Amino acid sequence: MKIYISADLEGVTGATHWDETDKTKPDYQFFAQQMTKEVKAACEGAIKAGAKEIWIKDAHDTARNIYADELPTIVKLIRGWSEHPFSMVQGLDKTFDALLMIGYHSYGSSGSNPLSHTLSSKKINYLKLNGEIASEFLIYSYIAASMEIPVVFVSGDEGICLEARKHIPNIRTVAVNQGIGNSTISIHPKLALKRIEEEVNSVLKSNFQNCQIKLPEHFKVELSFKKHTLAYRSSFYPGMKQISPTELWFETNNYFDVLRMLLFVIL
Ligand SMILES: [Zn+2]
């Protein structure tokens, strides 16, 4: 069994303030450690279920957060950004049996995490896919869907876990934080590790093929920009339509076109 884990930080246990996600701030160290431990817990659950190869994408900010020497020796860690449109799931291909997500967070404009955002906290308020606000969970799950890879597990804030179960009813989730305004209520960081290991182990021992998400046939992307100046610039991307000073539309039948657009316009 070959497993792919995509790891972010804004949905790691206790993460509440941007300083805690920023390498240059003293508050950051504890959360980089906790991110590493949560990824390690997922690896241990997967290995006990029979995983022989695990790829991990460090997918937060610099993509240089995880302490590799604390992880099991069978892992391959992807650090930094290649700038491939697959971004947070760089290198995912049909040889993988399942996709897991650790430390994921609610979409931009959601009240379920003080750090909620979609792809960029600075550029856009939210992104809609076919009329519904989309999270990074959904954007990257659709890449898995394009290769019929099941998305079996997500940990993060309560909001993202709820969204994951809405799209993939059989997915396993561990909600580590509940966001209220600019605050969070978290479970104990060590309890989070125990639950992540148990749920990952349990789902990978089950018939997880029922964790597939269906890729839509048509994509209509709506982008709400924080600044009209950036929306104006982005309106020149091929195929983009401007519908207001801060809102753009993009339509296609090919999901890779959506990912390429997001790479050039948002990332
Ligand atoms: Zn992040």
Q: Which domains are delineated in the chain?
A: 2-117+136-211 (3.40.50.10780)
Q: What percent of the chain has pLDDT over 70?
A: 100
Average pLDDT over every residue of 13-36? 98
Distance 238 CA to ligand 1 centre (A): 28
What is the mean pLDDT of the segment spanning 52-58?
98
118 C-alpha to ligand 1 centroid (Å) = 9
Per residue in 122-131, is it b (16+ CB within 10 Å) or e — as a string? ebbebbbbee
Q: Which residues surround ligand 1, an ion (CB under 5 A)?
A: 8-10, 60
C-alpha to C-alpha distance for 37 and 66, rounded to whole angstroms: 9
How far is ligand 1, taken at its centre, from the CA of residue 246, in Å?
24
* Cα 96 to averaged position of ligand 1 atoms, centre (Å): 23
- pLDDT recorded at residue 119: 96
Confidence at 121, pLDDT banded by 50, 70, 90 = very high
Task: Give residue 266's pLDDT band: very low, low, confident or very high (50, 70, 90).
Answer: very high
**What is the separation, in whole angstroms, between the first and last Cα of the chain?**
32
Q: Residue 200, class by beta-carbon neighbours within 10 Å (0-12 exposed, 13-18 middle, 19+ buried)?
A: buried
* Centre of ligand 1 from the C-alpha of residue 207, in Å: 30
Integer Cα distance of 159 and 112 in angstroms? 5
Say how far apart CA 205 and CA 254 lie, in whole Å.
33
Contacts of 233 (CB under 8 A, 6+ apart): none
pLDDT of the residue at 12? 98
**Cα distances (angstroms) measured from residue 145 to each of 28, 98, 130, 178:** 33, 11, 16, 28
β-pair partners for 102: 7
Instruction: Name the band, by pLDDT with cuts 50, 70 and 90, for residue 260.
Output: very high
Taking the complete model, does pTM exceed 0.85, yes or no? yes
Task: Give the pair of three-digit tokens for residue 255.
Answer: 């999901």
Assign 263 to helix, strand or coil. helix
Distance of CA 164 to the CA centre of its chain: 11
Yes or no: say if 168 and 149 are a contact pair by the CB < 8 Å rule: no
59 C-alpha vs ligand 1 centroid, how far in Å? 7
Q: pLDDT band for position 244 (50/70/90)?
A: very high
75 close to 87: Cβ distance less than 8 angstroms = no
Q: What is the pLDDT of residues 125-143, one digit of tens each?
A: 999 999 999 999 999 999 9
Please give the DSSP secondary-structure letter assigned to residue 2: E
CA of 29 to the centre of ligand 1 (A): 15
Burial of 189 (0-12, 13-18, 19+ CB in 10 A): middle
pLDDT given at position 102 = 98
Long-range contacts from 15-23, C-beta under 8 angstroms, 24+ separation? 15/103, 15/115, 15/177, 15/184, 16/114, 16/115, 16/177, 16/182, 16/183, 16/184, 17/114, 17/115, 18/115, 18/121, 21/60, 21/61, 21/115, 22/61, 23/61, 23/62, 23/64, 23/65
pLDDT level of residue 164 (50, 70, 90 thresholds): very high
For residues 103 and 35, is the Cβ–Cβ distance under 8 A?
yes
Q: Measured in angstroms, how far is the CA atom of residue 114 from the centroid of ligand 1?
A: 13
Please answer whether residues 97 and 2 qualify as being in contact, where contact means their C-beta atoms are separated by less than 8 angstroms. Answer: yes
Q: Which pLDDT band holds residue 59 (cuts at 50, 70, 90)?
A: very high
Residue 38 is predicted with a pLDDT of 98
Residue 202's nearest CA partner among 41, 79, 52, 87 is 41
168 Cα–ligand 1 center, Å: 22
How many angstroms is it from 136 CA to the middle of ligand 1? 10
Average pLDDT for 5-29: 98
Q: What percent of the chain has pLDDT over 90?
A: 100
